[in-house]
Amino acid sequence: MQVHARSFSRRLLSGAAVLTLVAAAAQAADNTPPKGFVALFNGRDLTGWKGLVKTENPFKRAELSPDALAAEQAEADKLMREHWSVEEGALVYDGRGKSLCTAKDYGDFEMYCDWKIGPGGDSGIYLRGSPQVQIWDKDQGLGKGVGSGGLFNNKKHPSKPLVVADKPVGEWNTFFVRMVGDKVTIKLNDKLVVDNVALENYWDYDKPIFPTGQIELQHHGAKLWFKNIYLRELKP
């Protein structure tokens, strides 16, 4: 019996080791960009990201002096580190700070992004500093029956996704976003939800969208998870 017990224990330990290795391999595969793309998130820390400054409007932000902008950025980065963290290869937001922004601005690009929310979760992805590719709970609130992926702030052009393609709350979803000029195409979990629609300038609807700008993971008071954020810049 003792021999059998030892053998059983060894099998349990061996099985646990295999599961650990599988989990480690899966985590290592995350945040590894496909050919031609770069990883905006390295899976380890907040390198390449910055906090959203108090002056959120890009038009007004451009009017700040360099010293004033630097002061706002230092304050925003401190807040970022208090509320955004990295857990098991994913960006995690506790819902109590502000949006997370890329340190670099982008023009035309293709991007992949995995995201996850909890019940009632609400977020989005700002493109060139402008809202937004919508993320929310498809089963309740404003998102009920609508689904994620639409250009929520559009007034003249379509703002809702073509289909509801969200996975159940608590599961990972994948966006593919292509932006060229002011036109945006989006797939959610491999289903087309936005087909070459103009993104309007929320900050001034009478003006076109900015030619370049930061990408932002939106704060909206909910806990959020992001990973596998890959981008390829498209040259004219």
User: What DSSP string describes 30-80?
Assistant: TT-PPTT-EESS-SSS-TTEEEPPS---HHHHTTS-HHHHHHHHHHHHHHH
**pLDDT of 127-162, one tens digit each?**
999 999 999 999 999 999 999 999 999 999 999 999
The answer to whether 108 touches 231, Cβ cutoff 8 Å, is: no
Label residue 29 by pLDDT band (50, 70, 90): confident
Mean pLDDT over each residue of the chain, to the nearest integer: 91
pLDDT value of residue 23: 44
pLDDT of residue 203: 98
Residue 225 is encoded by which pair of tokens? 């998870």
- Dihedral angle sign, alpha carbons of residues 95, 100, 31, 87: negative
Bond from prior residue into 132 cis (ω within 30 degrees of 0): yes
3-state secondary structure of 17: helix
Spatial distance between the Cα atoms of 37 and 64, rounded to a whole number of angstroms: 33
**What ranges do the domains of the chain cover?**
1-30, 34-233
Q: What is the pTM of this model?
A: 0.87
User: 10 Å Cβ neighbour count for 225?
Assistant: 19
Q: What are phi and psi of 230, to 5 degrees?
A: -120, 145
Closest among 73, 121, 136 to 101, alpha carbons compared:
73
Residue 109 tokens, joined: 């690009």
Q: Which fold would CATH assign to domain 34-233?
A: Jelly Rolls (2.60.120)
